[in-house]
Amino acid sequence: MEKLTAVILAAGRGTRMKSDRPKVLHEVCGRPLLAYVIDAARAAGAEDVIVVINREMEDVREVIPAEVVYAYQDEQLGTGHAVLMARPYIKEDTKDVLILCGDTPCLTGDLLSSLVRTHRSEEAAATVLTAELSDPTGYGRIVRGSYGEVERVVEEKDAKPQEKTIREINTGSYCFQVNPLFQALTKVGTDNAQGEYYLTDVLTILREQRERVSAFIAPEPDDTQGINNRVQLAAAEARLRERIRREHMLAGVTIMDPASTFIDAGVSIGHDTVILPFTIITGRTRIGNNCRIGPNVDMKDSTVADGAEVCQAVLVEAEVGPRATVGPFAYLRPGTVLAAEAKAGTFVEIKKSQIGLGSKVPHLSYIGDATIGRGVNIGAGTITCNYDGFRKNQTVIEDEVFIGSNTNLVAPVHIGRGAYTGAGSTISRDVPEESLALERAEEKVIPGWVKKRKMRMACEKQDGDIE
Ligand code: UD1
Ligand code: CA
């Protein structure tokens, strides 16, 4: 197999994003634009990937996988100049170079493979990925000769009125044979409307040298769309979200209302899981088989095991065990771990706590910094008082404990195996196993109190009338 290297141009400022962040680090479906382009290049068979950036973009390195090589372009002198900066990093044995832009996240491996295949089968020196657009404004136009061959690319700013009517555009992705590319690049000048080194001039130079310049027309023009502003960012987001949902559905996930379901690129979902409307699943969330998620679930970086149900809930870095149930109206914060068949019910907030096998927190509770064993029942309205104003303290509840409704567990506190607490108690001392802890003022009952009170009220009213 002949070696393919990808060079991704990403040094441009992206001023139209009106952002402090480099354009290629803006995210769609939870991943930076550049990550999609790298994936597409790899999927098309590129062994080495070189990204051209500028010095202010150091933070790119933190977001993008380590195997990528970076080349710097200190001054943005044009796309031709940017490609030259990558030259020292292209290995000797490279046959062809894919040149891509870092801001085209909808490119697919299939599309780039087709580009490379056409390039190789036609033995072209250069092959341009083109697209036919109803509105070609802003793009370089493909000027074809009388036999339909690609003659050159003319930039919008340099185009004559006649050329501006051409609807076939340069998408900014190309495949080149490495040697003709760099030979021609040394000849590119800056005699154009923008005073830049245009990569597209290489095509004209190659043609003049009687080299073959070819084109591959993208079957889906939207896949080649570059992002220049936030409107285009939103359009790419919509397109990629649709693609992600489609992949999940084809893999056996039921999505009742795709239009109101948002799933990030890094999410995995098992088959026979049903996603109900108004659900957003982000980050590195993993969902198992046969789960029921939604409606109205917002889940980030969480794990949900097979057969679990999550309804009307917010989860952040939480783990839900097999057949466990969450919601409606639950908030599971980082460090929440529900074991198999556990329950976090209605109006329940849990953070940094383990809820053991089959244990239930069914209603109106706050559980923080707690370890709860198996088979525990937490009565409605129970609160772990985990914060004393200075530090967070632990509550430990052993297996088979019954916590009465409206119990305050003042941490640090330990409830032994099988113990009970009486409803309405504030428990601040450890409870030994199998005991009942009750903290409640004794109830006082005054018989006939209501009748006496009514008589007193009536007398006061009469006295008032006389005066
Ligand atoms: C370029 C093409 C145009 C094509 C369009 C597709 C040229 C001369 N024109 O135009 O035919 O229709 O892309 O979107 O190539 N970049 C650098 N360094 C630079 C300049 C640009 O790294 O000095 C990078 C940018 O970050 C971007 C890519 O190259 O990823 C394209 O640059 P851009 O300024 O968007 O090119 P256009 O003028 O849009
Ligand atoms: Ca552009």
* Residue 466, pLDDT above cutoff 80: no
pLDDT at 465: 67
Give the Cβ contact number of residue 26 at 10 Å: 20
Token pair listed for 24: 């290629």
Is 414 one of the catalytic residues?
A: no
101 lines ligand 1 (CB under 6 A): yes
Shortest-distance Cα residue to atom 35 of ligand 1: 12
Radius of gyration of the chain, Cα coordinates, nearest whole angstrom: 33
241-437: which CATH architecture?
Answer: 3 Solenoid (2.160)
pLDDT at 59: 82
* CA 340/CA 336 separation, integer angstroms: 13
Integer angstrom CA distances of residue 204 from 114, 127, 188, 454:
23, 12, 10, 104
**What is the tens place of the pLDDT at every residue in 73-110?**
999 999 999 999 999 999 999 999 999 999 999 999 99
pLDDT at 258: 98
Tell me which of 13, 34, 79 to substitute to probe ligand 1's pocket, judged by most ligand atoms within 8 Å of the beta carbon.
79
Enumerate the domain spans of the chain.
3-224, 241-437
Ligand 1: centre distance to CA 103 (Å): 10
**What is the tens place of the pLDDT at every residue in 369-399?**
999 999 999 999 999 999 999 999 999 999 9
Pairing of strands 168-177, 126-132: antiparallel
Ligand 1: centre distance to CA 171 (Å): 9
* Residue 467, pLDDT above cutoff 60: no
Integer angstrom CA distances of residue 199 from 80, 100, 132, 203:
4, 11, 20, 8
Instruction: Give the model's confidence band at 463: pLDDT under 50 very low, under 70 low, under 90 confident, else very high.
Output: confident
Q: Which of 26, 119, 271, 363 is catalytic?
A: 363
Ligand 1: centre distance to CA 426 (Å): 67
**What is the tens place of the pLDDT at every residue in 130-183?**
999 999 999 999 999 999 999 999 999 999 999 999 999 999 999 999 999 999
103 lines ligand 1 (CB under 6 A): yes
pLDDT at 203: 98
Q: Is 303 helix (H, G, I), strand (E, B) or coil?
A: strand
**How does DSSP assign 116-156, residue by residue?**
HHHHHHTT-SEEEEEEE-S--TTSPEEEE-TTS-EEEEE-G
Instruction: Give the model's confidence band at 352: pLDDT under 50 very low, under 70 low, under 90 confident, else very high.
Output: very high
Tokens 């500028």 correspond to: 54
Token pair listed for 269: 């979902």
**What is the tens place of the pLDDT at every residue in 282-321?**
999 999 999 999 999 999 999 999 999 999 999 999 999 9
Which ligand 1 atom sits closest to the C-alpha of 140?
Answer: 11
142 lines ligand 1 (CB under 6 A): no
* CA 66/CA 85 separation, integer angstroms: 19
* CA 69/CA 89 separation, integer angstroms: 8
pLDDT at 56: 85
200 lines ligand 1 (CB under 6 A): yes
199 lines ligand 1 (CB under 6 A): yes
* Residue 13, pLDDT above cutoff 90: no
Which ligand 1 atom sits closest to the C-alpha of 103?
Answer: 30
Token pair listed for 433: 């196993």
CATH number for 3-224 (one of 3.30.200.20, 3.40.50.2000, 3.90.550.10, 3.30.110.60): it is 3.90.550.10
* Residue 275, pLDDT above cutoff 70: yes
pLDDT at 376: 98
pLDDT at 415: 98
Token pair listed for 354: 């383990």
pLDDT at 393: 97
CA triple 380-382-384, angle to 5 deg = 160
Q: What average pLDDT does this structure show over 65-76?
A: 90
* CA 95/CA 177 separation, integer angstroms: 6
Listed in sequence order, the DSSP H helices in 176-332 are 178-185, 201-208, 230-250
22 lines ligand 1 (CB under 6 A): no
Mean pLDDT of the residues in the chain: 96
Which ligand 1 atom sits closest to the C-alpha of 81?
Answer: 23
Q: What average pLDDT does this structure show over 123-131?
A: 98
* Residue 200, pLDDT above cutoff 60: yes
Q: What percent of the chain has pLDDT over 70?
A: 99
Q: What average pLDDT does this structure show over 407-431?
A: 98
For residue 14, the ligand closest to its alpha carbon is: 1
Q: In the beta sheet, which residues pair with residue 9? A: 52, 101
136 lines ligand 1 (CB under 6 A): no
Token pair listed for 163: 């050329």
Q: Is 330 helix (H, G, I), strand (E, B) or coil?
A: strand
**What is the tens place of the pLDDT at every residue in 209-226?**
999 999 999 999 999 999
Ligand 2: centre distance to CA 50 (Å): 19
* CA 263/CA 307 separation, integer angstroms: 19
Ligand 2: centre distance to CA 159 (Å): 16
Tokens 């080495």 correspond to: 48
> Roughly how many angstroms between the first and final C-alpha of the chain, as a whole number?
112
Integer angstrom CA distances of residue 374 from 44, 340, 356, 377:
51, 10, 4, 9
* CA 42/CA 5 separation, integer angstroms: 9
